[in-house]
Chain A
């Protein structure tokens, strides 16, 4: 059974800091890994998707890496802003389009 863990569960940083969110998964037989953002009480917004054959993806100030063999992914956020405050979720996909999510990291960026 695939299990996904995210550390830390919560993080508070001052504006401008660079930060790293961690995601680990137990079964390396994945199709891809996605990072999502969720604002309070809202749905999910896809940030980055990394195929199992890729090592990283970048979008603006966001960079996600994937090490499938060790079951780890990181989301790097550069020059954090208060608008980045949200919950960040990672999810792995196996066959059939089913996503298995981690518990999320609640990020607060203070002005």
Chain B
């Protein structure tokens, strides 16, 4: 157990809809990163938040956005869902200056 939780576990949406995924980090972890993992591939970095501000973004369009809250929770929002957005979404929390990132169990998103 990493102490990082994600909700929901599974989600089914249709193309064009919007979705919000949630992550609850370990207490004290001021950095959260989100990753997208397509089936059979390694995770790809979406973005990172540090002290409630975006602190780096991978090669993802602006319809992927996030929020980080003072209570160590965070959200990943995806607008105008596309079929290729179907994937496992992972969040990882850490404390700035340390090497270890703790991953949650992921949310499996299916877009029909």
Contact = CB atoms under 8 A, between A and B. Distances in A.
A32 interface: yes
Contacts of B42: 4, 6, 89, 91, 101-104
B104 A97 contact: no
A96 B103 CA distance: 17
Contacts of A104: 41-42
Interface stretch (A13-21, A39-47, A60-68, A75-83): A39-47
Contacts, number: 65
Given A43-B90, A89-B42, A104-B42, A98 B108 contact: no
B103 A44 contact: yes
Contacts of A4: 42
A107 to B, nearest CB: 14
A36 B103 CA distance: 10
B58 A98 contact: yes
A108 interface: no
Interface of A is mostly: strand
* Interface magnitude class on chain B: 20 to 34
Interface residues of A, number: 24
Contacts of B96: 97
Among A6, A51, A99, A100, chain B packs the most CB atoms within 10 A around the CB of: A99
A7 to B, nearest CB: 13
A51 B103 CA distance: 19
B101 A99 contact: yes
Nearest to A102: B42
Given A4-B42, A97-B94, A99-B33, 20 more contacts: A6-B42, A32-B99, A36-B103, A41-B108, A42-B106, A45-B103, A46-B100, A89-B43, A91-B42, A97-B56, A97-B96, A97-B101, A98-B33, A99-B43, A99-B45, A101-B43, A101-B44, A102-B42, A104-B41, A104-B42
